[in-house]
Amino acid sequence: MATQAQGALRKMAVTLDERGAAQYQLCLDEARIALNPLLGQPIALSFQQQIHCTHCGRLTKKSFSQGYCYPCFKKLAQCDTCIMSPERCHYDAGTCREPSWGEQFCMTEHVVYLANSTGFKVGITRGTQMPTRWLDQGARQALPMLRVSTRQQSGLVEDAIRAHVTDRTNWRALLKGDTPLLDLPAERDRLLALCQDQLHTLQARFGLQAIQPVTDLAPLEINYPVSAYPTKVVSLDLDKTPEISGTLLGIKGQYLILDSGVINVRKYTAYQVAFSA
């Protein structure tokens, strides 16, 4: 195999074509390698034993929060606990780590959605991140449920809905086979009815227009480039095995499926890697 590119690994770039098929590119610094044409061929990833913070470029022995050095992890708003738990947003308390960052990314329209990855799940994303968020998760289907004015509000809405449906994906089940299609509109209507009182309370708090159900869209269906799923999911780890190789059997979410195992590419953001095919 010949080395095609090397540099700092980033999450795979993915777009949806007109047929609803996911098209992937491996990202190493500025290099973009089309992966769909490599299905059925041997590939290799070689960790060069260096990690440079994706924000400041500092050399770090360990990656925090997928690609950051420890100082950036502790000071950046995008690494704060409210990113994973947006209902805990503390912007109004005046303690946001980076108010200007919060204004740009959190004080903007978000969508609470219903997806089918390994069954029904609820999630949130910025309005500009559809369908990227669903592709990154490996969702087979996705459907917006509500539009809200801020990230905090999306977290409060999600908190009410996840009392009735999970907000997590079983990643091993995701990689064991194709997910059967489900009736997302019917489940959306059921959840909106179950959470009606909580949604009215939030609308009274933030304003009627701040939290609005979305009921006029059809589910998006996504197909992933997978020729074969593993019978047993074996996770590959660049920290433990710096040289990973195998025949590329598929790509789903941010996972490469090889005949030797699966690797979550996003987990190794900022790792210096050489790619061969």
161 with 212, same domain: the answer is yes
262 with 205, same domain: the answer is no
Supply the range of the domain harboring residue 87: 74-221
150 with 203, same domain: the answer is yes
- pLDDT of res. 3: 79
Residue finishing a domain among 180, 197, 221: 221
Q: Is the pLDDT of residue 120 over 90?
A: yes
250 with 176, same domain: the answer is no
Q: Is the pLDDT of residue 39 over 90?
A: yes
Residue finishing a domain among 185, 206, 221: 221
- Distances in Å between the Cα of 88 and the Cα atoms of 100, 106, 190, 270 are 18, 12, 27, 28
197 with 62, same domain: the answer is no
- Nearest Cα neighbor of 247 from 41, 95, 18, 55 is 41
Q: Is the pLDDT of residue 1 over 90?
A: no
148 with 233, same domain: the answer is no
pLDDT range class, residue 107, cuts 50, 70, 90: very high
Mutual orientation of helices 184-194 and 196-206 as an angle, nearest 10°? Answer: 70
92 with 62, same domain: the answer is no
Q: Is the pLDDT of residue 2 over 90?
A: no
Q: Read off the amino acid at residue 201.
A: T
Task: Return the residue matching tokens 């309370």.
Answer: 201
110 with 162, same domain: the answer is yes
- pLDDT of res. 38: 97
pLDDT range class, residue 191, cuts 50, 70, 90: very high
The structural domain count of the chain equals 2
- pLDDT of res. 31: 96
- pLDDT of res. 111: 98
pTM (2 d.p.): 0.94
| Token pair recorded at residue 36 | 């769909």
- pLDDT of res. 58: 96
Phi, psi torsion values for 69, nearest 5 degrees: -75, 170
Q: Is the pLDDT of residue 262 over 90?
A: yes
113 with 163, same domain: the answer is yes
Q: Give the separation between CA 186 and CA 180, rounded to whole angstroms.
A: 16
pLDDT range class, residue 203, cuts 50, 70, 90: very high
pLDDT tens digit sequence for 179-189: 999 999 999 99
The rounded percent of the chain whose pLDDT value lies above 90 is: 97
Q: To the nearest 10°, the Cα dihedral for 234, 5, 137, 152?
A: 130
Residue finishing a domain among 182, 200, 221: 221
The rounded percent of the chain whose pLDDT value lies above 70 is: 100
In 3-state terms, what secondary structure has residue 33? strand
pLDDT tens digit sequence for 209-245: 999 999 999 999 999 999 999 989 999 999 999 999 9
Q: Is the pLDDT of residue 71 over 90?
A: yes
82 with 216, same domain: the answer is yes
pLDDT tens digit sequence for 143-175: 999 999 999 999 999 999 999 999 999 999 999
How confident is the model over 10-35, as a mean pLDDT?
96
DSSP per-residue string spanning 185-207: HHHHHHHHHHTHHHHHHHHHHH-
15 with 131, same domain: the answer is no
199 with 92, same domain: the answer is yes
